[in-house]
Amino acid sequence: MSTPPTQAPAGQMFPTKGPNGAEGYLGVAEGTLRRWRHEGIGPRSVKLHGLVRYPRAELDRWLQEQIDQQWSTPA
């Protein structure tokens, strides 16, 4: 049984797909992650053995950056 992302160790690398992957962690579709990656606007990823992976620390950093930007923008 795999560990849910919210309880994963900080050094864990998430695959792109699946409910326990980056798409599930961020709540976006795999295609959205792919588009963000190509446009350079999403969380940074790495390729390991030809597979895209997202470090958990990077997902957390990127999410916090999005929150900070939204909260600093006047409504």
pLDDT of residue 41: 94
Domains contained in the chain, CATH given: 12-72 (1.10.1660)
Kindly report, residue by residue over 30-43, the tens digit of the pLDDT. Answer: 999 999 999 999 99
pLDDT of residue 5: 45
pLDDT > 60? residue 1: no
Which residues, other chains included, contact 37 with Cβ-Cβ below 8 Å and sequence gap of 6+?
45, 52
Distance of CA 21 to the CA centre of its chain: 8
Kindly report, residue by residue over 13-72, the tens digit of the pLDDT. Answer: 887 877 789 999 999 999 999 999 999 999 999 998 999 999 999 999 999 999 999 888
